[in-house]
Chains A and B, each alone.
Chain A
Amino acid sequence: DTEVTQTPKHLVMGMTNKKSLKCEQHMGHRAMYWYKQKAKKPPELMFVYSYEKLSINESVPSRFSPECPNSSLLNLHLHALQPEDSALYLCASSQGTSGGYTDTQYFGPGTRLTVL
């Protein structure tokens, strides 16, 4: 199984709502990533988790709150978002082995978020 799943596929929310995006993989990967992608732009890295610990936060506003409850699951909690946060949110995972080895990242299909 080389699949990363994301739910929901689409999400529309108001600026005062609280919602969560979910990402799951069962490949035994120990590194998981959140990316944000605006239309016709490459993905922008938001967060990286390694062995369930946050290892990289790319200066993301606090209205985005990541959580990694276990090695298979990654959540992104959303609160008080702005319309400019509307984008495709992609999750990815990689083997996450140590020693400088570079891994292939496996991407999920994304959640299309619209903030009204």
Chain B
Amino acid sequence: KNEVEQSPQNLTAQEGEFITINCSYSVGISALHWLQQHPGGGIVSLFMLSSGKKKHGRLIATINIQEKHSSLHITASHPRDSAVYICAVTPPYGGATNKLIFGTGTLLAVQP
């Protein structure tokens, strides 16, 4: 069993829909990261959070430390949101050179 699990693995949505991607982890963490990777491209860090909720534009990330669970929400989805979304966690000993433990990613396709 992976230390970081994501669901769903694949998601197809219609433009405008509200999207939720889930991440569960089984290890202790100092932070959880949501990353976005477009096909063939580099990775962009969307959020880093250790508690509560963060919002940036149409993206919202929440984390429940007790339940070891995080969600990434996309409101009013758009075709340009189509990408792989990756959840990653930093172990508590991460420190200055923090290792990331990656989930397997969720491939999102938003159709016009």
Contact = CB atoms under 8 A, between A and B. Distances in A.
Range, interface on chain A: 20 to 34
Interface of A: 4, 6, 30-31, 33, 40-43, 45, 48, 50, 55-56, 88, 90, 92, 94, 96-110, 112
A90 B86 CA distance: 15
Contacts, number: 74
A38 to B, nearest CB: 12
Contacts of A107: 35, 42-45
Given A45-B99, A48-B99, A102 B94 contact: yes
Interface stretch (B14-22, B66-74, B101-109): B101-109
Q: Find the residue from A6, A42, A100, A112 having the highest chain B CB count within 10 A.
A: A42
B43 to A, nearest CB: 4
15 contacts: A45-B100, A48-B97, A48-B99, A56-B97, A90-B42, A92-B43, A100-B30, A101-B95, A101-B96, A102-B90, A104-B45, A104-B48, A107-B43, A107-B44, A110-B41
